Structure 1
């Protein structure tokens, strides 16, 4: 994957010859140590329609300085980016090509701009010589390499302050105050590339055909805004999943579920003939991503259960068998996820989602008032949830009730996501409904996790028995899961009552 560096930095405008203010005493700064001038030559790459730049992603090949090589940068938050580095080579390394695949999708990546920077570097250090931040004054010459502005150039000077590792980000606030007092102002551009593209071809936009957007305040506008956010999240998280970042798979699956949910809820707003096939593909992708994640959650649950067993009741190699089972299940899961993301089916789905936004299949109801239309859609989902909860509670404990509660859980997710999507139009009533339905969803989710855990415990017990080991502890854990399920089933009517009040439904209608 290459080296990864978390960059926390800020950029400032500077006129040629700008002098740096004295930063001594700023948040523990003892002195500024000159580190010399480096000459940097960076060629930035993108597709011809700037798909990387549209997502605030930059890809460059740079020579000069102490970090020569290929760099791809992903935005993490305000002033924060992750930079993944690969050694210098003539062609884009495969590891970095994989990380931008969800953006470029097979389109050629070509040089779009060359930036020559003369970087005057200073280290801001404390009394003990510890590095607090690196401050540089960059004199930049940018040349456009592609598009209508090919050959155009731009020049500017800017100041960068990059926080050192393990230093409180508040340090940058203090430096910024001192710079502001000296008349130095934050840059209007997020990156050098963004400024280079803007100044060498002002007004240029990627060619794109987009149907006229629905009018403000309409149901179509609200639904499409929610759809657009979820699609953006799916595309953005693709490289995070590839990098195996914490919670990335879970967050992508949540975005997939939210998107599936709103496509179902909005069937009177977006044509089902178009959205149902998309929903089926989203279901496939979520299931592919879910295999490893679901097992991870299950394994953690069983390990916690084993930790809660009194030592005298741990008969046989319980933990060892559980850990071996977990390792066997995890083997190959990572490769499978990456293979799915690299596959043509996934990339085709991303193209289909782009097409959905470019030419949304709006029905007449899309032009209606958002509040009334979305309230009716949310209440319809709520009615479906009510029917499934009551059906589950009417069944005796056992397999059929377990299945019914799982179906109720899926209906709870859909209602919750519909409420979230409707919140801009419906306000606090939608927020309250989402919160209360989330409590129902959580309870039903705990119940389903217990059902899956019992299935796994039974299989582990069978294997232990077959190997001549005691199955006592596995049976004990199975019984405890049954007790937990019974408690949740007893609590469900009380939790559901809070999410089904007549006052809450009336507030949505008003």
Structure 2
């Protein structure tokens, strides 16, 4: 069984005195520190695993098997933000645990994880305590020997200082410690992790590679946008497996943005190549959507109930909603994991990687972005305008609800088109995208209301069949109906603003 720890730490280059010993300043002078407790020296032996081409290291991910110290076992570290990582732990075992291997599957695609580096560390640990004896942070002086595993293996040695914040601690405390360390001559480490430094100092010297040029052509900008979405698709995979908040939504959004870019910029990329991939992205979004849509709907209904006066909540309303939600989500999480583990999903990621490495560019791709991208956006705008006109002229009813749903999808596509073009077109694309997003949000809330009313009717029927009063469900239905009507009244103004933003700048075309 794996468990997770949020790790907030900073690393520093060790300073040495005339005798060659590592110097650590008096840390009781740090604000809030009452005492420093010497915890002794631990001998750590860690073997780091990766693919042959170091895909995990490329994404600042580390996977190791460590013995020694008080947390021996397998550790997978996933970056969250600068200085912050989630460490997922599993018991000591011979092979990489399945629970950890799955979390990096989107990177490895089934390739073997093999030892690449061994780190032997002599760790001198001190605890920084407050006046009540509570742990504020752990400071470690690590004397490290790195051994590259393989035919061209080398070795490296260094000493570094780690400062790790105690669980639940205020990150601002690390600033106070750093101020004291800097005053003593210590400087932040140039490598983000021990593994990164070990790889840099033990691998054969590589030929210097020129950094990629800034995007200039239409193809450059479209590919840069697609690369960003691909990176999101891969990086959210472990978050979805861990059931982190909003992870399914963000992964699904990445699939939609890629599909939208394929359709919008079909003069840049060959559709005979992108269409099959777009269909697979549609499949993945659909599989992810089962859980996400239910999550959004359940949260909406819970908020409606919470906002009602107690006197209007009649019967076991909350428990019925909970039962209804659980029944609709039963097995969906297990299904999502199965999808992410499937050969079909891994083949999709491989196809996207191949497309980005060798893109099927069309002649328009080599033209200036300021000429090609605005034309594509204007086509999406025209499509949206047609759907909006139909939606706004139909009388209330099912046909109008469907027309608004279709307009919402067109708005999303136009917004994503502007989003992809923003680095090339600047403020006009930003303004247009912002205005279209406002339209999309209104249409989205309208569609959510349609789905909520269907659910409320279903809940009312179930309540009635069980001999419960359906009063509260009917009341909520009326609220949702009123909310939909309010969105319909707001739409003409929002649409006018979006049209004005497009006309004023013509998106730089």
Please classify the TM superposition score into its range, dividing by the shorter chain length. Answer: over 0.9
How far did 1:235 drift?
0.5
The SS at the match of 2:188 is coil
Listed as ranges, the matches of 1:33-182 within 5 Å are 33-146=37-150, 149-150=152-153, 152-182=154-184
Q: Does 2:280 align with 1:276?
A: no
Counterpart-to-counterpart distance in 2, 1:119 and 1:110: 25
Deviations 1:67-114 (A, max 9, x none): 000000000000111100011111111111111111111101111111
Q: Name 2:497's counterpart in structure 1.
A: 498
Deviations 1:195-242 (A, max 9, x none): 11111114459xxxxxx9888411111111111111111101111111
Do the aligned partners of 2:62 and 2:76 also contact (CA within 8 Å) in 1?
Answer: yes
Counterpart-to-counterpart distance in 2, 1:213 and 1:187: 26
Q: Name 1:347's counterpart in structure 2.
A: 346
How far did 1:505 drift?
4.5
Question: Structure 2 unaligned runs (5+)?
Answer: none
The SS at the match of 2:118 is strand
Q: Does 2:198 align with 1:196?
A: yes
Do the aligned partners of 2:432 and 2:502 also contact (CA within 8 Å) in 1?
Answer: no
Listed as ranges, the matches of 1:287-326 within 5 Å are 287-311=286-310, 313-326=312-325
Counterpart-to-counterpart distance in 2, 1:159 and 1:386: 60
How far did 1:488 drift?
1.2
Counterpart-to-counterpart distance in 2, 1:330 and 1:279: 27
Do the aligned partners of 2:428 and 2:508 also contact (CA within 8 Å) in 1?
Answer: no
Counterpart-to-counterpart distance in 2, 1:280 and 1:112: 37
How far did 1:308 drift?
4.1
Q: Name 2:426's counterpart in structure 1.
A: 427
How far did 1:23 drift?
2.1
Do the aligned partners of 1:241 and 1:248 also contact (CA within 8 Å) in 2?
Answer: yes
How far did 1:321 drift?
2.3
Instruction: Check 1:226–1:20 CA distance in 2 against 1; reply closer, same or farther (3 A cut).
Output: same
Larger mean CA deviation between 24-33 and 79-88 belongs to 24-33
How far did 1:311 drift?
4.9
Deviations 1:244-298 (A, max 9, x none): 1111111111112112111211111111111111111111111111111111111
Counterpart-to-counterpart distance in 2, 1:12 and 1:306: 52
Do the aligned partners of 2:27 and 2:180 also contact (CA within 8 Å) in 1?
Answer: yes
How far did 1:305 drift?
2.6
Do the aligned partners of 1:292 and 1:330 also contact (CA within 8 Å) in 2?
Answer: yes
Counterpart-to-counterpart distance in 2, 1:320 and 1:416: 39
Question: Structure 1 unaligned runs (5+)?
Answer: 206-211
Counterpart-to-counterpart distance in 2, 1:242 and 1:414: 28
Counterpart-to-counterpart distance in 1, 2:243 and 2:274: 30
Cα RMSD (Å): 1.9
Counterpart-to-counterpart distance in 2, 1:162 and 1:95: 25
Q: Name 1:11's counterpart in structure 2.
A: 11
The SS at the match of 1:108 is coil
Aligned length: 502
How far did 1:32 drift?
2.4
- TM norm structure 2: 0.94
Do the aligned partners of 1:214 and 1:221 also contact (CA within 8 Å) in 2?
Answer: no
Instruction: Check 1:128–1:463 CA distance in 2 against 1; reply closer, same or farther (3 A cut).
Output: closer
Do the aligned partners of 1:379 and 1:505 also contact (CA within 8 Å) in 2?
Answer: no
Instruction: Check 1:214–1:81 CA distance in 2 against 1; reply closer, same or farther (3 A cut).
Output: closer
Q: Name 1:331's counterpart in structure 2.
A: 330
Give the one of 160, 169, 189 matched to 1:187: 189
The SS at the match of 1:416 is helix
How far did 1:171 drift?
1.6
Counterpart-to-counterpart distance in 1, 2:24 and 2:311: 70
Instruction: Check 1:217–1:303 CA distance in 2 against 1; reply closer, same or farther (3 A cut).
Output: same
Q: Does 2:392 align with 1:393?
A: yes
The SS at the match of 1:28 is coil
Q: Name 1:409's counterpart in structure 2.
A: 408
Q: Name 1:209's counterpart in structure 2.
A: none
- TM norm structure 1: 0.94
Larger mean CA deviation between 473-482 and 250-259 belongs to 473-482
